């Protein structure tokens, strides 16, 4: 799977036809993969969110990266408080297993950062990933994120507290970007 014949990766809002795929990415251990399996959750949750607001609110959202017409997975973001009057975005992403390892997730994360800086005023986009998730660490580095440090004992998953590695991009890191925010 590559970007050649089908064009480039683009981000678009979630469609009703994506909901089974999103459900598998978050509620099926094999599809979620080693670092994204957190146990079963309410299977109607994503469908209800989609019916409520299309998964796009002022506090966060979800988009589907596509290659041509083909959905590849999802990117998401949520608002995180950084001070009494300030916030940043925290982002996450999961690709379908067959889409991993072709640079598509890196391009989707790069585009999500541009999109968030273009359409909101926040100054910082951060992402943390479990220590050991080398693919996501490398992908964030390639997408322009800077490694900021270790969050010890940050996340409980599969019977253990896990360290995370924190990455972020601030607006000034992208000074040479074209600023279109087109995803």
Ligand X SMILES: CC(C)(COP(=O)(O)OP(=O)(O)OC[C@H]1O[C@@H](n2cnc3c(N)ncnc32)[C@H](O)[C@@H]1OP(=O)(O)O)[C@@H](O)C(=O)NCCC(=O)NCCS
Which among 147, 137, 126 is positioned nearest to 80, based on CA atoms?
A: 126
Q: Which of 61, 89, 105, 113 binds ligand X (CB under 6 A)?
A: 105
- Tell me the per-residue interface mask from 49 to 88 with ligand X, x by CB under 6 A, - otherwise: ----------------------------------------
Q: Which of 66, 81, 146 shows the shortest CA–CA distance to 111?
A: 66
Range 112-151, binding ligand X (CB under 6 A): 129, 133-136, 138-139, 142
Chain mean position to CA 172 = 21
Per the CB < 8 A criterion, the answer to whether 113 and 144 are in contact is yes
If the CB atoms of residues 33 and 60 are measured against ligand X, the closer one turns out to be 33
Least CB distance from residue 85 to ligand X, whole Å? Answer: 28
Determine if 33 is a binding residue for ligand X (CB under 6 A): yes
- Work out whether the CA dihedral 118, 123, 128, 134 comes out positive or negative: positive
d(CA 116, CA 122): 8
DSSP label at residue 103: S
Q: Are strands 60-67 and 9-13 parallel, antiparallel or unpaired?
A: antiparallel
**Applying CB under 6 A, does 36 fall inside the site for ligand X?**
yes
Report the residue number, 138 or 182, with the smaller CB distance to ligand X.
Answer: 138
- Our CB check for ligand X shows the closer of 51 and 147 to be 147
Residues in binding contact with ligand X, number by CB under 6 A = 22
The one-character DSSP state at 18 is: G
Indicate the residue whose CB is closest to ligand X: 105
What is the nearest approach in angstroms of ligand X to the Cβ of residue 144?
Answer: 12
Give dist(CA 164, CA 94) in Å, integer. 16
User: What is the contact surface with ligand X in residues (CB under 6 A)?
Assistant: 33, 35-36, 92-95, 100-106, 129, 133-136, 138-139, 142
């Amino acid at each position: 799977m590559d970007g050649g014949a089908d064009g480039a990766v683009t981000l678009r809002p979630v469609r009703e036809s994506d909901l089974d795929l999103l459900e598998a990415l978050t509620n099926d251990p094999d599809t979620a993969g080693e670092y994204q399996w957190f146990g079963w959750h309410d299977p109607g949750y994503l469908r209800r969110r989609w019916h409520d607001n299309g998964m796009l609110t002022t506090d966060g959202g979800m988009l589907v990266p596509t290659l041509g017409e083909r959905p590849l997975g999802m990117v998401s973001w949520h608002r995180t408080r950084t001070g009494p009057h300030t916030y940043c975005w925290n982002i996450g992403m999961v690709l379908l297993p067959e889409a991993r390892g072709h640079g598509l997730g890196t391009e989707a994360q790069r585009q999500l950062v541009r999109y968030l800086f273009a359409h909101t005023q926040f100054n910082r986009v951060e992402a943390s990933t479990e220590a050991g998730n080398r693919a996501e660490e490398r992908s964030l580095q390639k997408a322009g994120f800077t490694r900021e440090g270790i969050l010890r004992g940050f996340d409980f998953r599969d019977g253990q507290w896990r360290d995370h590695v924190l990455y972020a991009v601030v607006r000034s890191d992208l000074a040479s970007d074209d600023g279109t925010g087109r995803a």
